[in-house]
Amino acid sequence: MSHTESQTSRPPGEVSEIETDVLIVGAGPCGLFATFELGMLGMRCDVVDVLDRPGGQCAELYPEKPIYDIPALPDCSGEQLIDNLLLQARPFEPRFHFGLMVEALNRMDDGRWRVRTNDGQCFIAGAVVIAAGSGCFSPRKLPAAGAEMHEGEGLLYAVRERERLRGKHLVVVGGGDSALDWALNLHDIAERLTLVHRRDRFRAAPDTVNKVRALIDTGAMDFRAGAVAELVDDSGQLSGVRLQGGDQVVCDHVLAFFGLSARLGPLTSFGLDMHGDHIRVDTERFATSLDGVYAIGDVCWYPGKLRLILSGFHEAALMAHDVKRRLHPDIRHVFEHSTTAMKEHLGPR
Amino acid sequence: MQITVIDRQNQSHELVVEPGTRSNLMMMMVDAGLPVRAECGGSCVCATCHVYVRQAPAGALSELGEDEEDALDLAFEPGPDSRLACQIPITDACDGLKVELAPEWP
């Protein structure tokens, strides 16, 4: 599905500012539905997410798993849900900014918020909505001795420059789609590629698994069942891995794919009133302890909170109405059902 | 009915379960305030409710399903006794079950 996207790439150090009505932190189901609710009330949204695509947990953890508790959708996959939410929000043209993590939140003299991200991109927004779920996803680290020391050079958790791996001995660790996709993608250019996984069964797409099996069967790729115990070092450079059990595999790079883990990260330093790992909100407006900052979805907490997608949708609607009152206090606030409100966006049916 | 959970500081916690409770071990541990992240909320995908089974009375555990085995690929240092607590339904047969919380991902 296509969606408006701005990938920010500026010279380092240069600060760019985007003004918007509402900045939404998190492009999971609740963040996406918030763009619809806010859009229907006439507000413009920008959305940032640390991942490189929309969907949050639905896209990262369970794109193909069925979800059964979305009202009026007896059965849909995480991916279908996200595609539909993007489609629903499209009339309001939310602007997406992927690969960005919010680092700082500062209140300006005029009551708006200035939000800074990790690459320097700044947003000025009348309201900020935190829909960050369980937090920022980052790769799970290889639990092996010496891993920290080689991270970024010998040990990689993502492939940014494929050409750097040409002609190298590679070890790919993991048994899911990422590990197998990269094993297929890199085995052509690698001098030798060894796939290491804890068992002789892979949980990737059947077609991918078949291709990898064929390469292993013909000897074009090596497979070792087990786990990496230690990264072997030769005067500061990675020279191989030692597997549990003692065997060594010579390599120049290890690529580890154990999926993602969520951490709240910088959100905890914004001065928000927290309840454990969650942001405390009121259940009338979904406002946090900071004036003009809201929290919805899995990240928020109130008595009786259920971490359901449908609860996040309800929270988005109430939040949107309060944001409208905040940004347009002079306009008499009239409630409209979507049948009426959407007419000017979609035309009469 | 009693279930024992050993935390990451090697402290033992007794979960007292009322007869007729319909829940799973992950939920019971979260409710008891034990440090279980349970990131996916029990969907059997994140493996952050990973436990090592130290003692399992007969019939306490179901067979390891394909879903759970797949999710265990993402567990931190899985072993032969590894299970996901969200996939352990609480039944009367769980009386005497003893598990240890696996280390968290760094």
Instruction: Please identify, in words, the CATH class of the domain defined by B2-101.
Output: alpha beta
Q: What is the pLDDT of residues B12-35, one digit of tens each?
A: 999 988 877 889 999 999 999 999
Contacts of A328 (CB under 8 A, 6+ apart): A42
What is the C-alpha end-to-end distance of chain B, expressed in Å? 34
Residue numbering of the annotated binding site of A: 30, 49, 57, 62, 102, 137, 298, 339
Domains and CATH numbers, chain A: 17-138+261-346 (3.50.50.60), 141-258 (3.50.50.60)
Q: How confident is the model at residue A342 (pLDDT cuts 50, 70, 90)?
A: confident
Flag residues of chain B having pLDDT under 70.
Answer: none
Interface residue of A149, A157, A198, A209 to substitute, partner B, most B CBs within 10 Å = A198
pLDDT given at position A348:
67
Contacts of A260 (CB under 8 A, 6+ apart): A60, A61, A137, A138, A139, A140
pLDDT mean over A174-199: 95
Q: What is the pLDDT of residues A10-43, one digit of tens each?
A: 555 566 899 999 999 999 999 999 999 999 999 9
Q: Which of A139, A56, A55, A136 is nearest to A101 (CA)?
A: A136
Q: How confident is the model at residue A2 (pLDDT cuts 50, 70, 90)?
A: very low
Cβ pair A201:B69 closer than 8 A: yes
Q: What is the pLDDT of residues A286-299, one digit of tens each?
A: 999 999 999 999 99
What are the extents of the domains in chain B?
Answer: 2-101
Residue numbering of the annotated binding site of A for FAD: 30, 49, 57, 62, 102, 137, 298, 339
- C-beta separation of A272 from A279 below 8 A: yes
- C-beta separation of A259 from A140 below 8 A: yes
| Residue A56 pLDDT greater than 80, yes or no | yes
CB pairs under 8 A between A and B: 46
Residue of B nearest to A173 (CA): B73
Helix, strand, coil shares of chain A as percentages rounded to 5?
30, 30, 40
H helix runs in A45-189, sequence order: 56-60, 78-89, 147-150, 177-187
Q: Which residues pair with A107 in a beta bridge?
A: A113
Q: How far apart are CA B39 and CA B75, in angstroms?
A: 12
pLDDT given at position A340:
82
Lowest mean pLDDT among A238-242, A254-258, A307-311, B39-43: B39-43
pLDDT mean over A64-69: 87
Q: How confident is the model at residue A1 (pLDDT cuts 50, 70, 90)?
A: very low
- C-beta separation of B80 from B69 below 8 A: no
What three-state secondary structure class fits A203? coil
